[in-house]
Amino acid sequence: MRAVHLLALGAGVAAIAAPAFANDSVMKGIANPAEQVLQTVDYANTRYSKLDQINASNVKNLQVAWTFSTGVLRGHEGSPLVVGDMMYVHTPFPNIVYALDLNNEAKIVWKYEPKQDPSVIPVMCCDTVNRGLAYADGAIILHQADTTLVSLDAKTGKVNWSVVNGDPKKGETNTATVLPVKDKVIVGISGGEFGVNCHVTAYDLKSGKKVWRGHSQGPDADMIMDPEKTTSLGKPVGKDSSLKTWEGDQWKTGGGCTWGWFSYDPKLDLMYYGSGNPSTWNPKQRPGDNKWSMTIWARNPDTGMTKWVYQMTPHDEWDYDGINEMILTDQKVDGKERPLLTHFDRNGFGYTLDRATGELLVAEKYDPVVNWATKVDMDKGSKNYGRPLVVSKYSTEQNGEDVNSKGICPAALGTKDQQPAAYSPKTSLFYVPTNHVCMDYEPFKVSYTPGQPYVGATLSMYPAPNSHGGMGNFIAWDGVNGKIKWSNAEQFSVWSGALATAGDVVFYGTLEGYLKAVDSKTGKELYKFKTPSGIIGNVMTYQHKGKQFVGVLSGVGGWAGIGLAAGLTDPNAGLGAVGGYAALSNYTNLGGQLTVFTLPN
């Protein structure tokens, strides 16, 4: 790898660069650390809080302040929001929203409970999770499992408007949060395991009217690409850049779904996100690079026009979805300040790019066991520039259909799935929840039927061999050297989103149900508390009446916990996760609870 010198600039984060370009109410909420108006904490996806009342010296004294039962027993991802004196809590399907009065013992002020067709449940891949709400212009925005996008009056819960974004009968569902930008709300779609032709869509924040839609593959017009102006690794993508990489009309069932996180840079006026796996999981059935699945996208939020793209895993053979968050920071590269984007991909590589141009700067493994590729080619003069160099032994296509390729690391759920990392400008470190899991992968021929699974592979998962024996690590990533600074081994994958704070504490949750607090500099464990169920939610913090609180949803589920969540016992069920995480049932059970912590008076 080409050595790149990254020098952190401190607290300067892109999310606060130029509020005139962003949504004023969102920028106001981001600027007030007492509140949380986005799941990502800020537009830059840093998941960093400036609150420091709870710090590395006193976090050991945390106590439970109050709890709230959501009434739903499936995987609880995302986190509550806090706006003023109100907290907004969401649930998995059926996607109930509660408004709680923090001035009155968290009394329920209003409750929104959509009436969704339960037939959407079996169409949702990997549990019935939802990654949470967003707040903008006096409204709470929810994207339901059935793809209904709803704007709720934040004070009353009354429906301002609703619009349908997809069709579950075709396999289109939603598990993600939304991004309010200026006068629009940006949403994605799920369904990669059902052959959906996926997209991102912008709706008018006031009316719900559709403004634009950009697909992940297909004709240039469908993707909102200019063949001469949209670039990849510094070069124009050219006419029909996607169509040329699919056989026939396969792009129409090509996947490339957009169920992850969105970032926004107000200064550059660009939004960023990742597209997921191509359909099917049997790579032999879809020759070519399958562009632009598995890709980092930079788009203009007003028009949807694509500025640049970078495909991380061309012709994906392992289901290494590229949907994980894009964390935006301003740092120095070789002595020159540059706007950067850092992305920890499912494929096991941590990427750093210039977010203005899409130039690839760093691509390094963030788990030493990653073996499917030796490295990413960083030689700009090479025909393989920017591509991973695949190890033939771990190529599921080269080995052929109905052949079980063994010992591939990471497993399909990746070195990190959607559980978001955090970044602290105080340490210039990224804090990354990871999966330390490998797999056996056997492709088989599958035919496409609308609304039916379009997978075409049988998987089994297990802890990475010759290692600490566990299935996860919580790591600090040093951007200067592209290396792990410290790593805390965990028995199970860390499926909770991290939170970094100005108090030099980083919080995360474990699948057994522990909320943990560690020192941001050393990783030393400072506090832990076992909540009623496994944690796959994202830790959040807020301040009320001058006092700082930390909250987290517990409720085991998600891909790692699908066996418990859905009552599955076949080891190959859950796309291989049921067998891999079978021992989890010895440590936790289903739940649905918000636990809020604070320091004693």
Q: Which residues are catalytic?
A: 319
Mean pLDDT value of segment 481-502:
95
Q: What is the pTM of this model?
A: 0.95
Mean pLDDT of the chain: 94
pLDDT band at 1 (very low <50, low <70, confident <90, very high): very low
DSSP code at position 277:
P
Mean pLDDT value of segment 113-123:
94
Count of beta carbons in the 10 Å neighbourhood of residue 190: 28
Taking a C-beta distance cutoff of 8 angstroms, is the pair 454, 530 a contact?
A: no
DSSP code at position 348:
S
Tell whether the model's pLDDT for residue 8 goes beyond 60: no
Q: Is the residue at 285 inside a domain?
A: yes
Tell whether the model's pLDDT for residue 3 goes beyond 90: no
pLDDT band at 5 (very low <50, low <70, confident <90, very high): very low
Q: Is 319 annotated as a binding residue?
A: yes
Residues of the chain above pLDDT 70, percent:
96
Mean pLDDT value of segment 427-434:
97
Q: Is the residue at 389 inside a domain?
A: no
Mean pLDDT value of segment 593-598:
98
Tell whether the model's pLDDT for residue 9 goes beyond 60: no
Q: Is the residue at 511 inside a domain?
A: yes
pLDDT higher for 129 or 401? 129
The count of domains in the chain is 1
Percent helix, strand and coil across the chain, each rounded to 5?
A: 10, 35, 55
What pLDDT, in 10s, does the model give residues 285-312? 999 999 999 999 999 999 999 999 999 9
CB neighbour class for 35 (10 Å; exposed up to 12, middle 13-18, buried from 19)? buried
Phi and psi at residue 100, to the nearest 5°: -110, 135
Tell whether the model's pLDDT for residue 322 goes beyond 70: yes
Query: For residues 495, 501, 505 and 509, what is the CA-based torsion angle, rounded to 10 degrees?
Result: -20
pLDDT higher for 43 or 576? 43
What pLDDT, in 10s, does the model give residues 535-583? 999 999 999 999 999 999 999 999 899 999 999 999 988 888 999 999 9
pLDDT of residue 307: 98
Tell whether the model's pLDDT for residue 10 goes beyond 70: no
Q: How far is CA 413 from CA 103, 331, 391, 434, 462, in A?
A: 41, 30, 19, 10, 11
Q: Is 175 annotated as a binding residue?
A: yes
Mean pLDDT value of segment 360-375:
97
Query: What is the three-class DSSP state of 167?
Result: coil
Which structural domain range is residue 541 located in?
28-372+396-598
Q: Is the residue at 5 inside a domain?
A: no
Largest CA distance in the chain: 67
pLDDT of residue 480: 64
Q: Is the residue at 6 inside a domain?
A: no
What pLDDT, in 10s, does the model give residues 463-476? 999 889 899 999 99
What pLDDT, in 10s, does the model give residues 69-95? 999 999 999 999 999 999 999 999 999
Tell whether the model's pLDDT for residue 39 goes beyond 70: yes
DSSP string over 396-455? TTTT-TT--EEEESS-TT-SS-SSPPEEETTTTEEEEEEE-EEEEEEE------TTS---
pLDDT higher for 8 or 164? 164
Q: Is the residue at 409 inside a domain?
A: yes
Q: In the chain, what is the straight-line distance between the N-terminal and C-terminal CA atoms, in Å?
A: 52
Taking a C-beta distance cutoff of 8 angstroms, is the pair 62, 53 a contact?
A: no
pLDDT band at 125 (very low <50, low <70, confident <90, very high): confident
CATH code for position 433: 2.140.10.10
pLDDT of residue 553: 98
pLDDT band at 281 (very low <50, low <70, confident <90, very high): very high
Measured CA to CA, the distance from residue 588 to residue 531 in angstroms comes to: 9
pLDDT of residue 398: 84
Query: What is the three-class DSSP state of 173?
Result: strand
Query: For residues 282, 320, 313 and 39, what is the CA-based torsion angle, rounded to 10 degrees?
Result: 140
pLDDT of residue 336: 87
For 185, the token pair is: 């709300």
Q: How far is CA 153 from CA 12, 141, 202, 365, in A?
A: 33, 9, 20, 44
Mean pLDDT value of segment 495-524:
98
Mean pLDDT value of segment 51-56:
98
Residues of the chain above pLDDT 90, percent:
90
pLDDT band at 21 (very low <50, low <70, confident <90, very high): low
Q: Is 167 annotated as a binding residue?
A: no
Mean pLDDT value of segment 322-342:
92
Tell whether the model's pLDDT for residue 212 goes beyond 60: yes
CB neighbour class for 26 (10 Å; exposed up to 12, middle 13-18, buried from 19)? buried
Q: Is the residue at 460 inside a domain?
A: yes
